[in-house]
Amino acid sequence: MSATESQPIPSVGTATTPPARAAGVSPATRSVALAGEHFAAAMLYLLAGAVGLVWIAPELAHGNYLSPHVAGVTHLFTLGWLTTAIFGALYQLLPVALGAPIRWLRVGHASFWTFAPGVGLFACGVADSTPAVQHVGITLVAVGIALAVTNIAATLPRARRRDVTWAAILLAITFLSSTLVLGVVLLHNLHTGFIAAARTRVLATHLHVAIVGWVLITIVGVSHRLLPMFLLAHGADTRWTRRALILLAVGVPLLALGLTTHFTVFAWIGVALLEAGFAHFVRQVRAFHSVRVRKKIDPGMRFPMVALAFLIFAAALGPVLLAIGSRATRVGTAYVLSGLLGGVVMYVVGFFYKIVPLLSWTAHYRGQMSRPGVPTVAEMYSARAARVQLAMMAASVIVLLVAIALASSIAAYAGAVLFLAGVLVFVAQLATVARGGPRQRVAQEAA
Ligand code: HEM
């Protein structure tokens, strides 16, 4: 970590461990505001996505994944929640974990102020099939991504350590750039139909490059650094991450090649590599868990575990879908729903529970650790409410999957409303975190 950029502050702490004595995680103070604005916008988009989920519930139940409504709402989650949250997290992680201060903080802010409003316009334009709004939205999104990718790429050479996390970030931003190109092709096709029958194959390519290449590879790389810290796990065999990254990074282009050409053999090799890469990641997570010092798993760390279960389900459906083809629209919808909503969306929620309280703690209490009433990082939110939220969100994805299996709109509405309720609990929790912890503690401190 750069000495000029961060100050020693507490670890993720526990209710009983005073933050001052806990080791290790130190936010990069120069980029706290940058991360904070990204996290706030990401939360708004998660909420918007959850509301949108209720709206598209019947279309999901009937496997109507080509609907513009579904595509619009999907991007509230993928660009609005996931991509915005990842940008914010990288602006913290790069200085703290890799010793690479962000190259241009102002470019980071400029990227945010183009990307964040652009996502909303793009998603609304797609959902509403309004070309003018789509065009303004995609222009802002593209500029925002170009600025963020350039900034991150210019930051990476400054890193003091070039480990697997560093390599994962480099790979991930490359896949994000490809995602953008494929997305623009798909958007143009919505107006012109120029790729005709190839639409579903290009769409499948786009979403795998995006979800596996951009989001999952980031998750694998970031988890490699953060899980041992969050779990207090030392001495695990850490070779699985490297293998996972190689398999995933080779598997994505091979799958893309197989899907976009008629050489199905490449698609099958790609799928095999992706399955193996994902299995290696799961093995790595297990290795961290098996050596963890803290036996009790806190709420933030339960989300990634549940998310992995949904990702495993999606991984099992993947080869089935490739075998039966894109006409099995409900299987396809269940596959993306499980991997996206139950998998990567929930995984990032768990990491939010670890990262955001730490940043907020730094902003409110740095230098005041000994003052009475100052909460530990873990006391900034309710562990009980987090467990309720997890139960709601996990149950909601299961109900949605059942709804798709039964083609039941009513069940889909129930699942979507449950998901929205879980997100509302999350918003309430993070609002508490943002103002420095529960009111009674803050009041005590003032007294
Ligand atoms: C970078 C900018 C992006 C653009 C311009 C874009 C554009 C599009 C478009 C136009 C569609 C609809 C295609 C059609 O129905 O024919 C689509 C679908 C989709 N995209 Fe993106 N996308 C972007 C980023 C992402 C990211 C980052 C993710 C995931 C992390 C993602 C995941 C998906 C998924 C899952 C679908 C299928 C939605 C459905 O079933 O309707 N996209 N994208």
User: With 80 as the cut, is the pLDDT of residue 444 above it?
Assistant: no
C-alpha–C-alpha distance, residues 58 and 404, integer Å: 9
Q: Label residue 325 by pLDDT band (50, 70, 90).
A: confident
Sequence-ordered alpha helix ranges (H) in 296-339:
299-324, 329-336
**Burial, 345: exposed, middle or buried (Cβ in 10 Å; 0-12, 13-18, 19+)?**
buried
Cα 72 to middle of ligand 1, angstroms: 8
User: With 50 as the cut, is the pLDDT of residue 19 above it?
Assistant: no
Neighbours of 159 (CB within 10 A): 18
User: With 90 as the cut, is the pLDDT of residue 274 above it?
Assistant: yes
Neighbours of 192 (CB within 10 A): 9
Q: What is the mean pLDDT of residues 299-326?
A: 95
User: With 50 as the cut, is the pLDDT of residue 13 above it?
Assistant: no
User: With 90 as the cut, is the pLDDT of residue 408 above it?
Assistant: yes
User: With 90 as the cut, is the pLDDT of residue 28 above it?
Assistant: no
Tokens of 261: 């050409």
By alpha-carbon position, which residue is closest to atom 40 of ligand 1? 65
Q: Label residue 226 by pLDDT band (50, 70, 90).
A: very high
Q: Label residue 106 by pLDDT band (50, 70, 90).
A: very high
> What torsion do the CA atoms of 243, 247, 249, 254 make, to the nearest 10 degrees?
170
Please report, for the chain, how many H helices and E strands are present, in that order: 16, 0
Q: Which of 143, 163, 308 is nearest to 221 (CA)?
A: 163
Residue pLDDT, tens place only, 246-260: 999 999 999 999 999
Q: Which of 328, 334, 202, 347 is nearest to 278 (CA)?
A: 347
By alpha-carbon position, which residue is closest to atom 38 of ligand 1? 71
**Which of 11-15, 90-94, 429-433 comes out lowest in average pLDDT?**
11-15
Q: Label residue 17 by pLDDT band (50, 70, 90).
A: very low
C-alpha–C-alpha distance, residues 166 and 125, integer Å: 35
C-alpha–C-alpha distance, residues 291 and 79, integer Å: 35
Cα 82 to middle of ligand 1, angstroms: 13
Tokens of 135: 């065009």
> What ligand 1 atom has the least distance to the C-alpha of 214?
30
> What ligand 1 atom has the least distance to the C-alpha of 211?
30
Name the 3-class secondary structure at 6. Answer: strand
Q: Which residue has the higher pLDDT, 98 or 252?
A: 252
The whole-chain average pLDDT of the chain stands at: 91
| Full-model pTM | 0.93
Query: Tell me, what amino acid is at 65?
Result: Y
User: With 60 as the cut, is the pLDDT of residue 384 above it?
Assistant: yes
pLDDT at res. 93: 92
Neighbours of 372 (CB within 10 A): 9
For ligand 1, whether the C-beta of 142 sits within 6 Å is: no
Query: Tell me, what amino acid is at 187?
Result: L
Q: Contact 165/97 with Cβ under 8 angstroms?
A: yes
Residues in the chain, total = 447
pLDDT at res. 294: 80
Percent of the chain with pLDDT over 70: 92
> What ligand 1 atom has the least distance to the C-alpha of 179?
1
Percent of the chain with pLDDT over 90: 80
The CA angle 354-386-440, to the nearest 5 degrees, is 90
**Burial, 191: exposed, middle or buried (Cβ in 10 Å; 0-12, 13-18, 19+)?**
exposed
Q: Which residue has the tokens 């530990």?
A: 376
Q: What is the mean pLDDT of residues 359-370?
A: 83
Q: What is the mean pLDDT of residues 376-386?
A: 92
> What ligand 1 atom has the least distance to the C-alpha of 138?
5
